[in-house]
Structure 1
C-alpha cells in the first residue's frame, strides 16, 4: 500500500513528474498509479484537471503509455543515447491531441480553459511539455538520481549543474547518511 504522499512533483517539469510515478525503477519498481483512482488523482494533483476524472481502463493505459514513452526518451537523452523512435512517435501522437481553449471572461477579466475532452487535453499538455523539454538545450540538464535504487529523472536547474539527487530530503539524505555511517565504520576499524 502506498502512503498518502504518493505523488512527487519535484522533477522540475510536468513531463518528468509523470515517469516519477514509478518509484525505485532500478531496484523494486513501485507504480503509484496502480491503485484504483490513482491516475485520476495524479492528473488532478498535477493541475491538469480541476475535478477527479472518471478514467476508463483504456485512458489509464494511454497515460501509462505516455509515461513509459517519456521515460524512454528522457532516459536516453540523459545518457546521451539515440532517442528510441517508437517512444518519440508516441510523444508526437499524443502531442497532436486537442488542447484546451482559453476564453476571456468579460466580467472577471480572467482566463478560463475549456476542453471537450479534459483527459486528452491532459495527455497533450504532458506530451507537448516533453517535446518542448527534449527538443531544447535543456535536455542536457536532464539527470537521473544517483541513488542506485531510485534513478528518478529530474531537470537540474542549479547554477553549477551539479545536482545529484532527485530530492535532498529523500535520496540525498539517504546517501549522505550512508556515507556518514561508512566513515564511522571505517574510523572504528582503524582504531
Structure 2
C-alpha cells in the first residue's frame, strides 16, 4: 500500500516568517488561491507559525489586520525585487504595525522555560511579523529576497544558497515542475528532428 502524504495547509519554507505570510496566497501570478480565506485559517496560520500557543477566535478586525499586513509585506518585497522605490505610505503602514506591543519574554523559575507575557497575543503576533519584515527589508539580507521563477507562482523566499542562484521557492514544487517541463520540451524537440 502506498502512503500518500497529505498537503500542508500552509507553507513555512520561505526562509523568514515575514515571507511566509505572503506565501498564503499561492499562484499569486496566475490563479491566486488565498489559503487564509477559509473559516478559521488565519488563526490556524498564527498558531502553526508558532506565534500563538492556542487557536484563538479572531475578530473580523484582527483577520483584516493580518491580511493587510500580508499585502503590505508583499508589495514592499515585490517593489524591492523589481528595484522600484518603496511607497512611503506602505512603509508607514508596516512601521505602524511593527511599533505595536511586542511580547515580553519571561523565564519560569520552576520549569526553566520561557513564556511570553502579553496583553493582546494577536496584536503581538502581528508586531513580531512586522518587525521581522522591517529587519529583513532594511537589513543586509534584502538582496537575497527573491520571487519564484515559476511564472504562475511568484512566492517570495530568502535565497540562502552560497551562490545566490536559487530560482524556485521549492525544488520539490516549482523547481521540479520547471525541470520536468524543460525535459518534456527537449524530448518533443528531439522527436521533431
TM-score norm. by structure 1 comes to 0.96
> Which digits, 9 at most, give the CA deviation of each residue in 1:110-166, with x for residues without a partner?
221111100000000000000000011210110000000000010000000000000
Unaligned runs of 5+ residues in structure 2 are 1-5
Q: 1:144 aligns with which of 141, 144, 147?
A: 147
The ranges of structure 1 where at least 4 consecutive aligned residues each deviate by more than 3 angstroms after the TM superposition are none
TM-score by length of 2: 0.95
- Is residue 71 of structure 2 the alignment partner of residue 71 of structure 1? no
Match of 1:98 in 2: 101
Alignment of 1:152-171 (within 5 A): 152-171=155-174
**Aligned 8 A contact 1:78 1:141 in 2:** no
| Correspondence for 1:180 among 179, 183, 188 | 183
Would you say how many aligned residue pairs link Structure 1 and Structure 2?
188
1:26 aligns with 2:32: no
User: Corresponding residue for 2:83?
Assistant: 80
The Cα RMSD (Å) is 1.0
Deviating more after overlay: 99-108 vs 116-125? 99-108
User: What is the SS of the residue equivalent to 2:78?
Assistant: helix
Q: Structure 1, unaligned stretches of length 5 or more?
A: none
- Partner deviation per Cα, 1:168-187 (whole Å, 9 max, x = no partner): 00000000000000000000
Aligned to 1:50: 53
Deviation at 1:81, TM superposition (A): 1.1
1:5 to 3, 8, 21: 8
Q: How does 1:112-127 map to 2 (within 5 A)?
A: 112-127=115-130
